[in-house]
Amino acid sequence: QVQLVESGGGLVQAGGSLRLSCAASGSIFRINAMGWYRQAPGKERELVAAITSGGRTNYNDSVKGRFTISRDNAKNTVYLQMNSLKPEDTAVYYCNADIWRSSGSYYKDYWGKGTLVTVSS
């Protein structure tokens, strides 16, 4: 089985920082894109940031300049460094990865269970 496990969420004050981590494990042949999504209460899930296996990145305009996504391919891990946090960043953050399993012939989306980030004003 392939699993994604997030960590690093918590409660911080506005202006503070957090670093989220997501590690993929299981029978993995290759991982293409990885990313972070978030969902606030009463709102739709939205892309926060994504990164390809080659390091190309995309960011939601609302976090651009404050958040940085990175990955360690050797560890099958993606990170999200979040600085200058705002109350509007409060949400459950989900890790996503497009993974080609060793037993498969194509990429498939996998999701973590999420980690809660709460930013107080």
Convert the pLDDT of each residue in 74-104 to its tens digit: 999 999 999 999 999 999 999 999 999 988 8
Residue 84, classed as helix, strand or coil, is coil
Convert the pLDDT of each residue in 7-19 to its tens digit: 999 999 999 999 9
In one-letter notation, the amino acid at residue 8 is: G
Beta bridge mates, 11: 118
Q: Which of 47, 53, 41, 48 is closest to 82 using CA atoms?
A: 48
